[in-house]
Amino acid sequence: MSQQLEYDVATILNICSDGITDLLSDTLESICGVFKNASYSGHLLELDLIEIKLASQEISRDEAIEAVVEVIMTAGEECLNLIGVSVTPDISPQLMYKILDALVDFDVTEFPSTILNIVDASEDPIECVVNVLDFISSEESSVWYDNVEDVDVSFVENIRHVLLDAIDKSPPEILEIDKDLNKKRKLVKEIDPENQLVDYTTESSDLDTLLDSYSVELSKLSCEGFIKEVVALASIADGEPNKRLEAVDSIIEHRIDNPSERLRYNHFISKTKQSFEHIFFR
């Protein structure tokens, strides 16, 4: 962790300790991580001033927390403005992080040809940003239409240049991934960031094909790890959702064939399936 990011996180935790939810705290820290990757530091002085005012009791902790959120969100808006994107004033911190992570901390090495096709198929700059976000993030396009206010044509020109450059530097065969599968993978990683096998899945397949492809990796996992990976794979596989959910039970039963041992994992299996169930029915 860089010194800047260490400072960001330490300052936020010092000011906001016990005053905000873990989700908001983690989101603010993640936004600061994007600032660090983009070499943006416009928020640091403001955070410093808030900490000083809080220490001298010029402002209350609640006022300090409100000020921290405002500073981070304003800095996020400035970062986006630098690349030609404007968002609505009432955008949530969670969506602010997702758009910053997707557009400012843009990973050009992942599916550049697919994203270039999306850019070229868009009719105007706002549609371009919405379609790119729709592909990269787990949110639906309607969410981004509600929160992206304006996009300068320079953004489209710059992103095309970056993508074309990435394609030129890529190996001849570039793995592509369809939009629906990509969304499901993103959702899986939001539920279980440690999940690994969905990262390697770049083509839509039925569950049996996926299980065959990863049979060696699955055999090395603990029972809990096996359950989580199998449920995740089933959630992104092709086929009728209810049949895939039913298949999960027989697959796990085959792996954990001792009835008394399987009984120990019944609650964990049920809880895991429930966590991923909405992905099955997308």
Question: Would residue 89 count as lying in a domain?
Answer: no
The pLDDT tens digits of the residues spanning 4-30 come to 556 566 777 677 777 788 888 889 889
Angle between helices 125-136 and 153-169 (to 10 degrees): 50
Give the phi and the psi of residue 202 in degrees, each rounded to 5: -115, 0
User: Is there a single domain that holds both residue 159 and residue 204?
Assistant: no
Mean pLDDT of 253-272: 83
> DSSP states of 101-141 as a string?
IIIIS--TTSSHHHHHHHHHH-SSHHHHHHHHHHHHSSS-H
Which of the listed residues 141, 160, 176 is the one where a domain comes to its end? 176
What is the pLDDT at residue 150?
A: 96
* pLDDT confidence bin for 237, thresholds 50/70/90: confident
Question: Would residue 97 count as lying in a domain?
Answer: no
Mean pLDDT of 198-204: 76
What is the pLDDT at residue 129?
A: 95
Which range is least confidently modeled, 91-100, 118-127, 227-236, 264-273?
A: 264-273
> DSSP states of 38-82 as a string?
TT--TTHHHHHHHHHHHHTTSS-HHHHHHHHHHHHHHHHHHHHHH
User: Is there a single domain that holds both residue 159 and residue 218?
Assistant: no
Which has the higher per-residue pLDDT, 108 or 255? 255
> Alpha-carbon torsion 275, 278, 279, 281, what sign?
positive
Question: Would residue 19 count as lying in a domain?
Answer: yes
- Total domains in the fold of the chain: 3
Question: Would residue 60 count as lying in a domain?
Answer: yes
User: Is there a single domain that holds both residue 5 and residue 57?
Assistant: yes
Question: Cα(207)–Cα(203) distance, rounded to whole angstroms?
Answer: 12
What is the pLDDT at residue 1?
A: 43
User: Is there a single domain that holds both residue 22 and residue 78?
Assistant: yes
For the cut 80, the answer to whether the pLDDT of residue 156 exceeds it is yes
Question: Would residue 101 count as lying in a domain?
Answer: no
User: Is there a single domain that holds both residue 186 and residue 269?
Assistant: yes
Tokens of 51: 């900490």
What is the pLDDT at residue 174?
A: 44
What is the pLDDT at residue 9?
A: 65
User: Is there a single domain that holds both residue 201 and residue 241?
Assistant: yes
Residue 39, Ramachandran bin (φ over 0: left; ψ between -120 and 50: alpha; else beta): left
User: Is there a single domain that holds both residue 164 and residue 192?
Assistant: no
User: Is there a single domain that holds both residue 264 and residue 200?
Assistant: yes
User: Is there a single domain that holds both residue 189 and residue 257?
Assistant: yes
Question: Would residue 21 count as lying in a domain?
Answer: yes
User: Is there a single domain that holds both residue 146 and residue 187?
Assistant: no
Which of the listed residues 176, 208, 230 is the one where a domain comes to its end? 176
Mean pLDDT of 52-60: 90
Which range is least confidently modeled, 4-13, 23-32, 43-52, 146-155?
A: 4-13
Tokens of 236: 């992104």
Q: What is the mean pLDDT of the chain?
A: 84
- Give the percent of the chain with pLDDT over 70: 91
The pLDDT tens digits of the residues spanning 241-258 come to 888 888 888 888 888 888
* pLDDT confidence bin for 202, thresholds 50/70/90: confident
User: Is there a single domain that holds both residue 154 and residue 132?
Assistant: yes
Containing domain of residue 142, as a range? 106-176
Question: Would residue 91 count as lying in a domain?
Answer: no
Distance between the two ends of the chain, CA-based, in angstroms?
Answer: 37
User: Is there a single domain that holds both residue 260 and residue 234?
Assistant: yes
Mean pLDDT of 186-215: 81
Question: Would residue 28 count as lying in a domain?
Answer: yes
